Chain A
Amino acid sequence: MAKGVLKTALDAHKNRNYKLERQRKQEKAAKKKKQEAAAQNEDGEDVEEGGVQLNESVGAKVNGEKKGKAKNAKSPKATKTEPEWETEESENDSDDDDDIPDETALGLARLDDSESDISGDDSEDDEEEEDDEAEEEEDIALSDIESLASEDKGDIIPHQRLTINNTTALTAAVNRIQLPYSKLAFSEHMSVVTDEPVEIEDVEDDLNRELAFYKQALSTVKDARKLLKKEGAPFSRPADYFAEMVKSDEHMGKIKQKLIDDAAGKKAAAEARKQRDLKKFGKQVQVAKLQERAKEKKDTMEKINLLKRKRSGADVTKTNEEDLFDVELDHADEPGDRRRSGGTGDGKNFKRAKKNEKYGFGGKKRHAKSNDAKSSADGRDFSHKKMKGKTGAAARPGKARRMKSK
């Protein structure tokens, strides 16, 4: 405890100065922070670090005045006006033990308090919680507080936060871990940086974006290939080198199947579309065909009628008729006339014939199909081939031939 006594004496001697100095420093830091809220650069941190050291050393030495302050602090304890006071009071409790590590810890805690006090005056409750949570990451807490506060306001952009970009620390970190690229062979690290930064105008544009990535990779590969070949390192895999691949055969099979399925699906879709179009078009074709057929039929009927009229009427243009109509037509209407045209064939009773034609009476219906003398004398339908009997019988060869074939 002699040490403690000495310390207290020393504190009593010196603490006033330290205290003031510390406060001044904090104020300075606060001012700086407020001025450059956007980026907390190296200078600010330096000041803070200075603060830390001071606090650590001071922690033990503030004893003398603490007793006095503690009394003051007792009344505002409940209301908690200033965080600094409270921490000092708690320090006071622990100071009786005079443990140095404890004090340093408290010093740190106090630093946290004061830091957050400076940063966010408006939201004290929040900041208390933050302090408990994040001791080391006070900067994060600070930015969190800021974002919270602005969020409550609502009309300010909600995600404004303090950026830390400690360039010197970053470069130091890089230098610490960086591979000695200049000394290493390329085949050791195989990393290439492109000459030009890749520019992508619109990251939402998938095709162009992927194209840019592809181009970057391709240029890299070409460079790397050249470098590796120069160093004599193996690059391409020989065709007869087989080893386990990243994607298994099963996986590749699945991919292949997928590709085939896709292609087949595409083909089927194209086919279906074609068929659909054809169907749509085919209907038109069919309609046209039907119309054409109907027209043809009409034409032929007209021709036939004309012919009939010509035949039945006076043979005025007999000579022309022969030229106009086919022989086939002539023949075609001949046998049909046989029954109906009763008298006309003979050239008798034209009047009757005309009337029959006009009024549709073609004579008696009965006995119309029965034979008479004339029909039996008509030999036009006779075919001697038909009279020869069944044609099937001819298929059977004669006996001699049958025997021979056996």
Chain B
Amino acid sequence: MASVYKSLSATNGHDEKERAERKNKQRVLILSSRGVTMRHRHLLQDLYSMMPHSRKEAKLDTKTKLYQLNELAELYNCNNVLFFEARKGKDLYAWMSKAPNGPTVKMHLQNLHTMEELNFIGNCLKGSRPVLSFDAAFEKEAHLRVIKELLTHIFGVPKTSRRVKPFVDHVMAFTIADGKIWTRVYQINESEPGKKKPTADGEEMDVDPAPKKKGGKPDLDVNLVEIGPRFVLTPIVIQESSFGGPIIYENKEFVSPNQIRSDLRRAKGSKYNRRTEAIRENKIKRGDLGLTTHGGRTKEKDPLSDSVLFA
């Protein structure tokens, strides 16, 4: 009986332990496709350095068979995939996915500035856990809720991650503006509040409408210093399963950069066409009015000219 009890209790304990472990356990596979530029690579590096729960992989060779990523993620025990797909050596698309069967979000990544080129003075511990800050607009729509959840899983560092540092010294902010998700990373900087004495401060705190926590230490002022990188994400498509499955959301407002470029080119081309057309018409008109010698047409050969007669 004792052994049975033991085993039972053990399983129970194991269950509980498992539940505790299951709380928030994320691992992210982070990789890019071939054909990324230097800046894309640096962004990847920046994100990797801030995500101790991530695993970096070599560039993926294919851009069509993305379902291979699921196997790759399984291989490395990752339940999230952050995949950067570069196209034409200039456009970057970010895929975020819950690996075995979660939804996948494809987003267009714009306005990219890496840590290196931004020269911000903020800095943070490598592997400290970020506070994730979401705009309230994320809760408004279903597809944004999916995206928020994915962002939380991918960029939020779980407590149990291996290389994690115990302090919180940076915040990652996601804001929705203009139908896009703007991302910023700030360092949390705590400083002594000015010239007030602690006792006076405590008294004042009581008077304050929102009293802060009173402790032995005086409350510190919080301010933020940006660290970088910066980027903007435009959601394009959400698929139901991981890199496949039916499409459950598609952004109507998204215009692919190719389309924009071709429109620009076409506009330029039409301008040229109009001009040439006008020139031609003008020529014809002048010819019809007899202002040019042959009306803009080649002269008919005179059958009596010397060159014909004595050819």
Which chain B positions have C-beta within 8 A of A235?
167-168
Which of the segments A82-90, A176-184, A347-355 contacts the partner chain? A176-184
B209 within 8 A of A: no
Interface residue from B131, B177, B212, B224 paired with A192 (Cβ < 8 Å): B131
- Across-interface contacts of A143 in B (CB, < 8 A): 250
The secondary-structure label for the interface of chain B is: mixed
Neighbouring A residues of B120 by C-beta, 8 Å:
255
Min CB–CB distance B196 → chain A (angstroms): 18
Whole-angstrom distance from the CB of B254 to the nearest CB of chain A?
Answer: 9
Q: Which of B124, B177, B246, B248 is A198 in contact with, Cβ under 8 Å?
A: B177
Select from chain B the residue with minimum beta-carbon distance to A159. B255
Instruction: Flag B89-107 by CB within 8 Å of A: 1 or 0 each.
Output: 0000000001000110000
A94 at the interface (CB under 8 A from B): no
Interface string of A147-165 (1 = CB under 8 A from B): 0000000000011011111
Query: Contact: A136 with B246, CB < 8 Å?
Result: yes
- From B46, B137, B186, B247, A214 is in contact (CB under 8 Å) with B186
Interface 9-mer from B8-16, B70-78, B141-149, B301-309: B141-149
Mask, A241-284, CB within 8 Å of B = 1, is 10111110001100110110000000000000000000000000
Select from chain B the residue with minimum beta-carbon distance to A219. B133
Task: Check if A140 is an interface residue, CB within 8 A of chain B.
Answer: yes
Known: A193-B139, A224-B168. A173 touches B175 (CB 8 A): no
In the assembled complex, A196 has its CB within 8 A of some CB on chain B: yes
Task: Tell me whether A247 and B115 are in contact (CB under 8 A).
Answer: yes
Are the C-beta atoms of A190 and B168 separated by less than 8 Å?
Answer: yes
Tell me the bound Cα distance from A237 to B248 in angstroms: 43
Given contacts A198-B177, A246-B50, A246-B126, contact A140 B222 (CB under 8 A): no
- A174: Cβ under 8 A from any B Cβ: yes
* Most chain B CB atoms below 10 A, which of A171, A210, A218, A228: A218
Given A198-B136, A220-B131, A220-B133: A170 and B249 interface contact (C-beta under 8 Å): yes
Which parts of A195-253 form the interface with B (CB within 8 Å)?
Answer: 195-198, 200, 203, 209-210, 212-214, 216-218, 220-222, 224-226, 228-230, 233-237, 241, 243-247, 251-252
B24 at interface (Cβ–Cβ under 8 A)?
A: yes
Q: Which residues of B contact A331 (CB under 8 A)?
A: none
> Are A252's CB and B247's CB within 8 A?
no
Return chain B residues, CB-CB under 8 Å to A192.
Answer: 131-134
Complex contacts, A230 vs chain B, CB 8 Å: 213
Residues of chain B lying within 8 A (CB to CB) of residue A189: 24, 132, 152, 156
Q: Return the chain A residue nearest B250 by Cβ.
A: A164
B49 contact set on A, CB distance < 8 A: 246
Q: Report whether A246 and B125 are in contact in the complex, using a CB–CB cutoff of 8 Å.
A: yes
Interface string of B244-259 (1 = CB under 8 A from A): 1111111110010001
Q: Is the CB of A190 within 8 A of B102?
A: no
Least CB distance from A311 to B in Å reads 77
State how many angstroms separate the Cβ of B177 from the closest Cβ of chain A: 4
CB distance A190 to B250 under 8 Å?
no
Interface hits, B234-267 → A, CB 8 Å: 237-238, 240, 244-252, 255, 259, 263
Q: Does B199 contact A (CB under 8 A)?
A: no
Q: Which residues of B contact A259 (CB under 8 A)?
A: 119, 121
**Chain B residues whose C-beta falls within 8 Å of the C-beta of A162 in the assembled complex:** 250, 252
Q: How far is the CA of A133 from the CA of B174 in the complex (A)?
A: 36
A140 touching B167, Cβ below 8 Å: no
Decide yes or no whether B82 CB sits under 8 A from chain A. no
- What's the nearest-Cβ distance from chain A to residue B260, in Å? 10
Question: Is the CB–CB distance between B135 and A198 below 8 Å?
Answer: yes
Across-interface contacts of A346 in B (CB, < 8 A) = none
Closest Cβ of chain B: how far from A51's Cβ, in Å?
A: 14
Residues of A within 8 A of B145 (CB): 170-171, 174
Known: A179-B152, A221-B224, A245-B123. Contact between A166 and B133, CB under 8 A? Answer: no
Please tell me if B271 contacts chain A, counting CB pairs below 8 Å.
Answer: no
Give Cα distance in the complex from A196 to B178, angstroms.
Answer: 16
Interface check A191, CB cutoff 8 A: yes
Would you list which residues of chain B between 207 and 248 have a CB under 8 Å from chain A?
Answer: 212-213, 220, 222-224, 227, 237-238, 240, 244-248
Chain A CB within 10 A, most for which of B133, B167, B212, B249: B133
Given A217-B171, A245-B125, A246-B46, 11 extra CB contacts under 8 A = A140-B247, A164-B248, A177-B149, A179-B152, A189-B24, A193-B139, A216-B173, A218-B223, A233-B168, A234-B167, A246-B49
5 pairs of A and B residues whose beta carbons are closest in the complex:
A220-B133, A170-B142, A163-B252, A191-B132, A169-B248
